[in-house]
Amino acid sequence: MKVAVIVFPGSNCDRDMFHAAGEIAGAEASLVWYTETHLLDSVDGILIPGGFSYGDYLRSGSMASTSNMMHKIQEHAEKGKPVLGVCNGFQILTEAGLLPGALMRNKNLSFMCHQEELIVEDNETIFTKLYEKKQIVRFPIAHGEGNYFCDEATLKELKDNNQIVFTYKNNPNGSVADIAGIRNKAGNVLGMMPHPERAVEALLRSEDGLSLFQSMIANWRSSNAVNA
């Protein structure tokens, strides 16, 4: 499986994502600068890492969301290819309209950086098939604007369509309905604030994130076996 890790000006988790997906999980990963849209033509999945794209000017993720790269990513998403956005990547996906809702300042108005326990609400996605439903996993968070918000109608839609993939066991930032990660209706776009790429080795105090990347690879392999 070939995956592209998108690098915007201000991205700072790109190397972590590259290491997790490529060197640990076993995908064929490459770092792709945000202007090199042609390099996405041959990839099977797209990973948008955390950081502070464009310095988080205006709103977190807002400037990156209007780039030509995001238009290309939207084309890939419409073809059903997996797209994962973590932290700032989640913010970019909501700003671009690939996922509903918005990310606001944490309820305590402070940057937060520590381990959090999450609940796997849906283990039937291409990102979570190797987890158990309601499994408790430990991923670190590192964000100042991770407070997920949506209106009541959108929340009902998320629940009705089973689009809530991860929730916080002990909500640290005020996110509505304890939401830590959601997917699109088609199931191939996942956005989440916690960092699975920082939880793939025992040295990092958790290996729970590895199954997310392995799930993507396993799904790609099974899909290609069927189409072969």
Q: Which of 95, 121, 145, 197 is catalytic?
A: 197
**Tens of pLDDT, residues 59-100:** 999 999 999 999 999 999 999 999 999 999 999 999 999 999
**DSSP H or E stretch at residue 77:** helix 68-78
- pTM of the shown model: 0.96
Beta bridge partners of 137: 118
Q: Which of 87, 116, 143, 150 is catalytic?
A: 87
CB-based contacts of 182: which residues, under 8 Å, 6+ apart?
Answer: 99, 100, 101, 148, 158, 163, 164, 165, 190, 191, 192
**Tens of pLDDT, residues 19-47:** 999 999 999 999 999 999 999 999 999 99
Q: What is the CATH number of the domain that holds 171?
A: 3.40.50.880
**Tens of pLDDT, residues 174-211:** 999 999 999 999 999 999 999 999 999 999 899 999 99
Tell me, yes or no, if 113 is annotated catalytic: no
Tell me, yes or no, if 87 is annotated catalytic: yes
Report how many domains make up the chain. 1
- pLDDT at residue 223, as a whole number: 87
Task: State the residue range of the domain holding 206.
Answer: 2-227
Beta bridge partners of 46: 4, 83
